[in-house]
């Protein structure tokens, strides 16, 4: 006599949710931004004590909050816009104790001159394409990618002071590309979507110091300063 097993059917939540042409939501989460630094060729090559060691970078945890607008294209594709406010901080640690620094910039060897805190308040506007897999019961994985622009309200771009007055300046607007992945969880009353995403700037953000002659110990050895960030969002739709 054969044995029969009864498979328990799971209740499908929000069965018609993905059929909406347009829907909205909100998110909050965390971020950690750093910089990819490209140096002047051979400027930072340390040979027999000459040259400058690379700038050290400390990444701090920030937070983000914003809104979501979603347009359904077909069963697997959605176009999304996710404007938000992002707060972050990066600390640049300059090698003021190196022999080259002490030789070339003897007036700027104090600890105060070796640290620059770069605080950023971004209005971040990404336009993303979401590629979803088949729904499995009450969850569905997806990948996401697209372009974004960020307006840095703390850039100091229009400030006439520079690092010689303890002011580190970057551009007020950047353009980025983003890639990431996440999972949609269909709950009883709403859809919950945790995701992780990388943000990569595609343009130089550094504004050099105002120097008529000579060099700046903070900016002269940098060719490109490019933001790199990891963003974790908890989205409710």
pLDDT one-digit tens code per residue, 11-24:
888 888 999 999 99
User: Distance (Å, rounded) from C-alpha 46 to C-alpha 48?
Assistant: 7
* Partners of residue 130 on adjacent β-strands: 78, 144
**What is the pLDDT confidence band of residue 41, given thresholds at 50, 70 and 90?**
confident
CB 224, CB 200: distance < 8 Å: no
Return mean pLDDT, the chain.
Answer: 90
Tens-place pLDDT, residues 218-228: 998 899 999 99
Tens-place pLDDT, residues 162-215: 999 999 999 999 999 999 999 999 999 999 999 999 999 999 999 999 986 678
Torsion of CA 126, 129, 133, 136, to 10 degrees: 40
Question: Above 60 in pLDDT, residue 4?
Answer: no
Determine the pLDDT at residue 11.
82
Question: Above 50 in pLDDT, residue 7?
Answer: no
Q: Which structure tokens are listed for 34?
A: 């750093």
Determine the pLDDT at residue 170.
97
Query: Higher model confidence: residue 127 or residue 41?
Result: 127
User: Distance (Å, rounded) from C-alpha 84 to C-alpha 65?
Assistant: 5
Cα Rg for the chain, rounded, in angstroms? 24
Q: Rounded mean pLDDT of 80-94?
A: 96
Report percent pLDDT > 70 for the chain. 91
- State which CATH number among 2.60.40.10, 1.20.140.10, 2.40.160.20, 3.40.50.10860 fits the domain covering 23-236: 2.40.160.20
CA angle 67, 73, 76 (to 5 degrees): 95
Boundaries of every domain in the chain: 23-236
Tens-place pLDDT, residues 118-139: 999 999 999 999 999 999 999 9
Determine the pLDDT at residue 34.
96
User: Distance (Å, rounded) from C-alpha 149 to C-alpha 224?
Assistant: 18
Determine the pLDDT at residue 9.
59
Which segments of 31-78 does DSSP mark as H helices, in order? none
Q: Rounded mean pLDDT of 63-77?
A: 97
The helix (H) or strand (E) run that includes residue 132 is strand 115-132
């Amino acid at each position: 006599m054969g044995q029969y097993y009864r498979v328990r059917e799971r209740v499908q939540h929000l069965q018609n949710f993905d059929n909406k042409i347009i829907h909205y939501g909100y998110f909050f989460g965390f971020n950690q931004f750093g910089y990819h630094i490209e140096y002047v060729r051979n400027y930072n090559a340390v040979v027999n004590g000459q040259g400058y060691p690379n700038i050290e970078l400390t990444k701090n945890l920030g937070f983000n909050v914003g809104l979501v607008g979603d347009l359904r294209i077909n069963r697997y594709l959605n176009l999304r816009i996710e404007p938000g406010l992002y707060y972050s901080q990066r600390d640049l640690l300059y090698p003021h104790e190196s022999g080259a620094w002490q030789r070339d910039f003897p007036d700027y060897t104090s600890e105060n001159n070796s640290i620059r805190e770069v605080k950023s308040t971004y209005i971040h506007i990404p336009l993303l394409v979401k590629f979803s897999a088949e729904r499995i019961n009450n969850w569905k994985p997806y990948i996401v990618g697209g372009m974004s622009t960020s307006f840095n309200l703390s850039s100091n771009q229009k400030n006439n002071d520079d690092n010689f007055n303890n002011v580190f300046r970057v551009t007020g607007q950047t353009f980025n590309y983003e890639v990431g992945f996440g999972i949609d969880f269909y709950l009883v009353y709403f859809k919950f979507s945790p995701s992780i995403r990388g943000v990569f700037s595609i343009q130089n953000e550094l504004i050099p110091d105002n120097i008529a002659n000579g060099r700046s110990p903070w900016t002269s050895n940098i060719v490109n300063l490019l933001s790199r960030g990891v963003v974790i969002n908890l989205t409710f739709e």
